[in-house]
Structure 1
Amino acid sequence: MSLEGRLSALGPALLDPKLLRGRGLGNEIGFYIFDYPPERDPDVQRALPKVVQVVEAGGIQVQVVDLYRTVLGLLEERGYLDKALALEEARGPAALQGALKPLLSPGKVADAVARQAQGAELVLLTQVGAAYPLLRSHSILNNLHERLDQVPVVMFFPGTYDGQQLRLFGLFKDDNYYRAFRLLPEGSQGVNP
């Protein structure tokens, strides 16, 4: 199935009662990865409002969480955003990443995501690629397990996920992560738990 076909099928797939229960038959956590070619990220971002509209029309409360804006918000509320931008310009991204590591620990970011998700029946995580290298996908998902264990979470991932390994942009191998299901993998007709 093409990306356009997968995006068209996404709204109905997100309304699947099996997905919305938040847990699989074996009591697996309801986390899903919608992976796609990184160069198609603008297409996915454009399609997302329509997907949300379809799901909300089905009576489900959706919360879209932009991980990049979440990071910026955490820095801004602590008064570090301008300092972080200046540090990156002066000393480069590696120095910035090292300096921000304590402020942007996966637990703190997961707490911020959970605050945004309060009252939601479905959480969609976006802008994973924009938040790299400050955030690692597997770390965020691991830390969300204890915070959003009853709410299904879908991470929109610009790269590949084979059910065990996340490769951001198809290049950067993240640590193994095998607790999420691929949502609408190519050739599928629905949720793949």
Structure 2
Amino acid sequence: MVPSPANLKAAREDLLRREEVLRGRLADPDFLANRGLGNEVGIYLFCYDPALELELRDAVGRLVRDSENGALPCRLIERNLYDLLLAICDDRRVSAAVPRMEAKRGTAALVEQLRKTASLDAFAEALDYGSHEPGDVVLITGVGEVYPHLRTHALLDNIQHLFADVPLVVAYPGLYDGQSMRLFAGVAGRGLEDGNYYRAFNLF
């Protein structure tokens, strides 16, 4: 389904509003300190229309730059899952073998091997960055780029204990209702069922 110009315009306006809401949260001392969550881990989903992936990347770039130049009182640490997947493959010296493996054994066999090589534990290790400081916020991007290799709910289950002391924001190209996720849902379609997760907060 091709979204109409009017629907795309409305989606872009909505994304700009959401960016401003996120900007406000990134300047909120209670948000940065994970206060007021009732003992829950500070995991938030920043949902956006997947048709606006390039606009989302621009918005993330603006927010990261503002955190670096002092316009925001936080250190926004972006972790792109696709970049992490490539780095894991490089670290384990399998990147060069991927095209040959797919040609010889097929895509299904390649995907299965990558699941073992770039496991949830490997992603968790790559996502963590050592000493967490007050004011840190981790922003996960690239969710759609690693689907179906990596599912968001499974990743969050595996990393929530690592980021209990800092807010974790997931840029999610789809919809989240506080229980279930629909990846790639937006003006172009209803998206895909992407599992359940109950411990995150929707930023909107």
Query: Given the two structures, how large is their TM-score scaled by the length of structure 1?
Result: 0.86
Structure-1 residue corresponding to 2:66: 54
Residue type at the aligned position of 1:172? L
Alignment of 1:31-42 (within 5 A): 31-42=43-54
Structure-1 residue corresponding to 2:55: 43
Matched, 1:82 2:107: no
Residue type at the aligned position of 1:38? P
Query: What is the alpha-carbon distance in structure 1 between the residues aligned to residue 143 and residue 103 of structure 2?
Result: 22
Say if 2:80 and 2:142, in contact at 8 Å, map to a contact too. yes
Post-superposition shift, 1:76? Answer: 0.5
SS of structure 2 residue aligned to 1:99: helix
Say if 1:110 and 1:144, in contact at 8 Å, map to a contact too. yes
Given candidates 141, 152, 164, the residue that maps to 1:149 is 164
Post-superposition shift, 1:88? Answer: 3.2
Query: What is the alpha-carbon distance in structure 1 between the residues aligned to residue 103 and residue 53 of structure 2?
Result: 26
Say if 1:10 and 1:51, in contact at 8 Å, map to a contact too. no
Cα distance 1:105–1:23, how it changes in 2: closer, same or farther (>3 A)?
Answer: farther
What per-residue deviation string (whole Å, max 9, x for no partner) do you get for residues 39-83 of structure 1? Answer: 111100011111123344233122110110001100111101121
Residue type at the aligned position of 1:126? T
Say if 1:11 and 1:51, in contact at 8 Å, map to a contact too. yes
Say if 2:132 and 2:166, in contact at 8 Å, map to a contact too. no
Query: What is the alpha-carbon distance in structure 1 between the residues aligned to residue 159 and residue 35 of structure 2?
Result: 14
Cα distance 1:89–1:17, how it changes in 2: closer, same or farther (>3 A)?
Answer: farther
Post-superposition shift, 1:10? Answer: 2.1
Flag structure 1 segments of 5+ consecutive residues without an equivalent: 186-193
Post-superposition shift, 1:172? Answer: 2.3
Query: What is the alpha-carbon distance in structure 2 between the residues aligned to residue 150 and residue 119 of structure 1?
Result: 8
Query: What is the alpha-carbon distance in structure 1 between the residues aligned to residue 87 and residue 50 of structure 2?
Result: 24
Residue type at the aligned position of 1:28? E
Structure-2 residue corresponding to 1:130: 145
Say if 2:26 and 2:74, in contact at 8 Å, map to a contact too. no
Alignment of 1:2-17 (within 5 A): 2-17=14-29
Structure-1 residue corresponding to 2:128: 114
Say if 2:139 and 2:169, in contact at 8 Å, map to a contact too. yes
Query: What is the alpha-carbon distance in structure 2 between the residues aligned to residue 146 and residue 63 of structure 1?
Result: 18
Query: What is the alpha-carbon distance in structure 1 between the residues aligned to residue 151 and residue 200 of structure 2?
Result: 15
Query: What is the alpha-carbon distance in structure 2 between the residues aligned to residue 106 and residue 62 of structure 1?
Result: 23
Say if 1:23 and 1:150, in contact at 8 Å, map to a contact too. no
SS of structure 2 residue aligned to 1:167: strand
Query: What is the alpha-carbon distance in structure 1 between the residues aligned to residue 28 and residue 168 of structure 2?
Result: 13
Query: Given the two structures, how large is their TM-score scaled by the length of structure 2?
Result: 0.82
Structure-2 residue corresponding to 1:95: 109
Residue type at the aligned position of 2:101? L
Structure-2 residue corresponding to 1:166: 181
